[in-house]
Chain A
């Protein structure tokens, strides 16, 4: 038995004690003894966060991240479950890789790993992967993320097949030919900086196409990391028509704009790119009106040397799974409310995946995190568990930091 003293439930100021046994929540404020007692230090207990979109880089690119560092980073960020993207080397398109990843992650005792598998073999977009076998091996979602689904017919077939298995297909919705060699949002800033632009239309055009495919197949389509106002409008209209489409946005698209590229710092080079303030405002409105289904980070670690290259050569991606929750709380508690933010990072992704919605009542799995909603801390990348110890928010003061993450009744992270 484990008990956590001095914790609050969300929305309450009352200090309580939470009891955990055999990986499940035993109850609150019980008159029971425990082998281990932890001090929650007045923090608020929320269900452990669920990440639907993280790059953990294993196998093959472990100099950027591996399961141990990535899942430790996730736990430090308050996450109990992580869906990893399959664009590794080799690609996760084989049941044996899925099994190996799950087995290794299970032994780590950090955040839970739920691998996504490739929709097509080698993510080549040419041949469906063995979706049924991948599902049996433990894959929870199919995606060719990292690549775009250029062949519309293959996407159609993949959606139909995955739907028959009850699993979701998520898409990196960008027309690669329209994106061309763009390294940042196309607009006045890219032209002033002389950098090749990626137009908002590259996303909108692809979202429009994919919505039509979802509409006529009836299969569930999930649009990843939506970044533009126009694409969001397309999702909004599609939902009104009853098309089975959902979408996620990432905190970096809510909090940064293409103006950040004026620094020429490749930390800000992401795909899809940072857009304009109008786009960021539209995404926030989409969160408020429910068009956006959930938040994800697209945690995409790279080595420091790679991110210190020039903007044409540096790879795309920001790694910040450890900051996502405090970033959202600090910037958006006033507009969205903490409860909504928690929902967008816990129940909402669980619903999308068809998983049981997390809760903190007796008998529920003991996956929870204690967050300190009040104390401000300065972002210090040297303390990151992730191998990527560089971030656009270094030196910023945030609140809402996770202090304790419990996964399956085991302590996966405790902040000193």
Chain B
């Protein structure tokens, strides 16, 4: 295996073996979460900073719990209530936080590439918790982990991702990760929300036809449709979108018999996914949340133990 990467910004520096090790390790972390005392001393003495320049409750909670369950101290920085709103530059903010002797950063930012800049300016290990449209690697890892747990393997599995692919870092990260682990990815959405150039990614197919996309799929992931897409002229109407692209039982009937349903959350119920599908027997949406904590513990362990 190659040298251990210093950061998790995307999967560019990762080998399938390394990624497999992170998934394997998540099994161990899940076992920790099932114990009466859900805490291990792995990161004792280390301080992890969650630097969130964009609002997020779920991802932030998941990361902070993961860090605390590994006994790290957590410094929680939210840009909305800080000097960033007074015009401080990203560089100055990060250099200030680094001066607090933080050992690692977990970064969310509205701009693609911001996590790379934090890595450059801080010199500390950085986990990308979502940057612009680019990447959300721990979300993709927890998706991969969930599929692997539920279906036994990723090798040769057909994963269909439906919705606003254009603006989705979840879709981009999954489209990078899942083929590295042996799965086939189909990205599907209205042409205005499905950039043609994503077809250049290895192991990725594009289609605007949801029925074709779901046929034979082993996992179907619905992406959140954001209201502002309507104002941007990307769609004719919400009703039309629902008719063509909603993940519902009728559409899922085309998937393989044991296909599972995923959603990165938060959901617009009965928009991109029907309530019946979200709550039905195929749904693994809550398992994703649970697995997310295990994956984030595994990533923190992988990057920080014996290093920071």
> In the complex, what residues of A have CB within 8 A of residue B76's CB?
none
Closest residue to A305 on the B side, CB-wise? Answer: B89
- The reply on A123 being an interface residue by CB < 8 A is no
What 1/0 mask marks residues of chain A from 191 to 206 whose CB sits below 8 Å from any chain B CB? 1111111000000000
Q: Is the CB of A191 within 8 A of B198?
A: yes
Residue among A190, A263, A308 with the highest chain B CB neighbour number at 10 A: A308
Is A194's CB under 8 angstroms from B110's CB?
Answer: no
Given A194-B135, A308-B90, A308-B91, answer yes or no on A186-B116 (Cβ-Cβ < 8 Å): no
Q: Is the CB of B113 within 8 A of A193?
A: yes
Query: In the complex the two chains form, what is the Cα distance from A264 to B7 in whole Å?
Result: 16
User: B132 near A312 (CB under 8 angstroms)?
Assistant: yes
| Min distance, Cβ A365 to any Cβ of chain B, angstroms | 45
Contact of A63 with B by CB under 8 A: no
Instruction: Give Cα distance in the complex from A193 to B110, angstroms.
Output: 13
Docked-complex contact B89 and A195, CB < 8 angstroms: no
Chain A residues with CB under 8 A of B195:
191, 197
Tell me whether A264 and B116 are in contact (CB under 8 A).
Answer: yes
* A396 adjacent to chain B (CB < 8 Å): no
Which chain A residues (372-387) contact chain B, with CB distance < 8 Å?
none
Cα separation A308 to B200 with both chains bound (whole Å): 30
Q: Using Cβ atoms and an 8 Å threshold, which residues of chain B touch A191?
A: 172, 195, 197-198, 200
**A192 and B201 contact, CB distance less than 8 A:** yes
Q: Are B197 and A310 in contact (CB under 8 A)?
A: no
Decide yes or no whether B117 CB sits under 8 A from chain A.
yes
Interface hub of B90, B195, B198 (most chain A Cβ within 10 A):
B195
CA distance A263 to B112 in the complex (A): 11
Residues of chain A within 8 A of B169, CB atoms compared:
194
**B133 contacts the other chain (CB 8 A):** yes
Chain A residue with the shortest CB-CB distance to B12: A262
- Tell me whether A264 and B112 are in contact (CB under 8 A): yes
Q: Is A311 an interface residue (CB 8 A)?
A: yes
Whether B89 and A309, one on each chain, are in contact in the complex, defined by CB atoms closer than 8 angstroms, is: yes
Most chain A beta carbons < 10 A, residue from B113, B172, B200: B113
Give min CB distance, B103 to chain A, whole Å: 23
Q: A194-B133, A194-B135, A194-B169 are in contact. Are A312 and B197 (CB under 8 A)?
A: no
Number of interface residues of A (CB under 8 A): 20
A residues 141-177 with Cβ under 8 Å of B? none
* Chain B residues within 8 Å of A263, by CB: 116
| B90 CB to nearest A CB, Å | 6
Q: Tell whether A310 pairs with B200 under 8 Å between CB atoms, given A194-B172, A195-B133, A264-B113.
A: no
Flag if B201 contacts A312 (CB, 8 Å).
no
Cross-interface CB contact of A312 among B89, B110, B198, B200, cutoff 8 Å = B110
A313 at the interface (CB under 8 A from B): yes
Which of B110, B132, B169 has the most chain A CB atoms closer than 10 A to its own CB?
B132
B134, CB-defined interface residue at 8 Å: yes
Q: Is the CB of A309 within 8 A of B90?
A: yes
Interface flags, B82-111, vs A, CB<8A=1, else 0: 000000011100000000000000000111
* CB of B225 closer than 8 Å to a CB of A: no
Q: Which residue of A lies closest to B113 (CB)?
A: A264
Given contacts A193-B134, A194-B134, A194-B172, contact A310 B201 (CB under 8 A): no
A311 to B132, CA, bound (A): 10
- Chain B residue nearest to A311 in the complex (CB): B113
Quick check: is A363 within 8 A (CB to CB) of the other chain? Answer: no
Nearest Cβ on chain B to A184's Cβ, whole angstroms: 10
Q: Which chain B residues numbered 19 to 36 have a C-beta less than 8 Å away from chain A?
A: none
**Residue of B whose beta carbon sits closest to that of A186:** B197
* Cβ of A187 under 8 Å from chain B: yes
- Whether a CB of chain B sits under 8 angstroms from the CB of A354 is no
User: Does B197 contact A313, Cβ atoms closer than 8 Å?
Assistant: no
Residues of A within 8 A of B90 (CB): 308-310
Closest Cβ neighbor of A196 among chain B residues? B133
Provide a sorted-by-A list of 20 A–B residue pairs whose CB atoms are within 8 angstroms: A186-B197, A187-B197, A191-B198, A194-B112, A194-B131, A194-B132, A195-B112, A195-B132, A195-B133, A197-B195, A264-B114, A264-B116, A264-B117, A305-B89, A308-B89, A309-B89, A309-B90, A310-B90, A312-B110, A312-B132
What is the interface of chain A, defined by CB distance below 8 A to chain B?
A: 186-188, 190-197, 263-264, 305, 308-313
- A-B interface, 9 closest residue pairs, ranked by CB to CB distance from nearest: A264-B113, A194-B134, A194-B133, A310-B111, A188-B200, A191-B197, A194-B112, A312-B111, A264-B116
